[in-house]
Amino acid sequence: MNLGEFGVWQPGYATTPQMAKRIEDLGYATLWLGGPEPDLSGIDDLLAATDQLVVASSIYNIYRGDPERLAAAYRRIQRSYPDRLLLGLGVGHPEQVGDYRTPMAALNGFLDVLDEHGLPREKRALAALGPKMLALAAERSAGSVPYLVTPEHTRRARAALGSQGLLAPEQKVVLDSDPERARSLARPRIKHPYLGLVNYTNNLRRLGFTDEDLAGDGSDRLIDQLAVHGDAATVARGLREHLVAGANHVQIQVVGERSAPHPQMSDVLLQVYDEDAFRIYESLAEALGIAPR
């Protein structure tokens, strides 16, 4: 399975087959889907619209899904589109899950059922942040697909996974050379909901961020590392820092000017994936040396 060095992250609800085709035509090898449906519905259509694009989940929340149903969905897609699906699995957040059991126990149990149904270890990865989850990712999956991390986390994760495991972090980007304007776009997307989720804030503290960094709207230092900003060349250098730190691949999440309120959470802003977003994808592909198809 060829993921390439860089892929595009978009939420599943906002991604159409036409978008998937455009992303592939720009030269990106992987499309990462946030929050896929429990039965992976819709992924078949994305794969049908493209020729070689890999679709990966980032992430599939195990508390929303059923492992037997997921294994059946994987087999369905694998039959028609072999080696073009990677499952990124995660445990979500206690603030968002009513029955939040011990994450390690819950994930191990989920993986046990996937094993029983023959879902290959190399076709799944874990959204691992801390040391225990990284160890589990190395033992029971292809590797880690962490979200809301920095190159320093990538360096530590590579040491934990060893030299062979997949490591594909997500990185937010703002294509704007004005730091204040870029931060004004990134800050609300990071504050809500991420600075209110303990799994993320605990990980950020492990990386050296302080309570002051995490308070309120988040410090400039925090925002600058979680959302790389600048012109295309500057952003490309920031993305490549993950590769230098040990990543095999980087998920690129665009933060652009157009957003809309979340229908259930009014303080959460959702990116609008319009022509402006695709112009950013195109500019970054050129800066990263990604050849169009």
Residue 193: asked if its preceding bond is cis (omega within 30°), the reply is yes
Query: So what's the pLDDT on residue 97?
Result: 56
- CA torsion sign for 20, 22, 25, 30 is negative
User: Taking the alpha carbons of 242, 248, 251, 252 in that order, is the dihedral positive or negative?
Assistant: positive
Q: What pLDDT is stored for residue 12 in this prediction?
A: 95
pLDDT of residue 269: 84
259: DSSP letter:
E
Output the pLDDT for position 290.
99
**pLDDT computed for residue 61 by the predictor:** 94
The bridge status of strand 124-126 relative to strand 85-90 is parallel
Contacts of residue 163, defined as CB under 8 A and 6 or more positions apart, other chains included, come to: none
pLDDT recorded at residue 264: 64
Domains with residue ranges and CATH for the chain: 6-288 (3.20.20.30)
Helical H runs in the chain? Answer: 17-25, 43-48, 67-80, 103-116, 131-140, 151-161, 179-191, 198-206, 211-214, 220-226, 232-245, 275-288
- CA separation for the pair 282, 83 (Å, rounded): 26
Per-residue pLDDT in tens (0 to 9) along the chain, 293 residues: 999 999 999 999 999 999 999 999 999 999 999 999 999 999 999 999 999 999 999 999 998 889 999 999 999 999 999 999 999 999 975 545 556 568 899 999 999 999 999 999 999 999 999 999 999 999 999 999 999 999 999 999 999 999 999 999 999 999 999 999 999 999 999 998 999 999 999 999 999 999 999 999 999 999 999 999 999 999 999 999 999 999 999 999 999 998 888 776 667 788 999 999 999 999 999 999 999 99
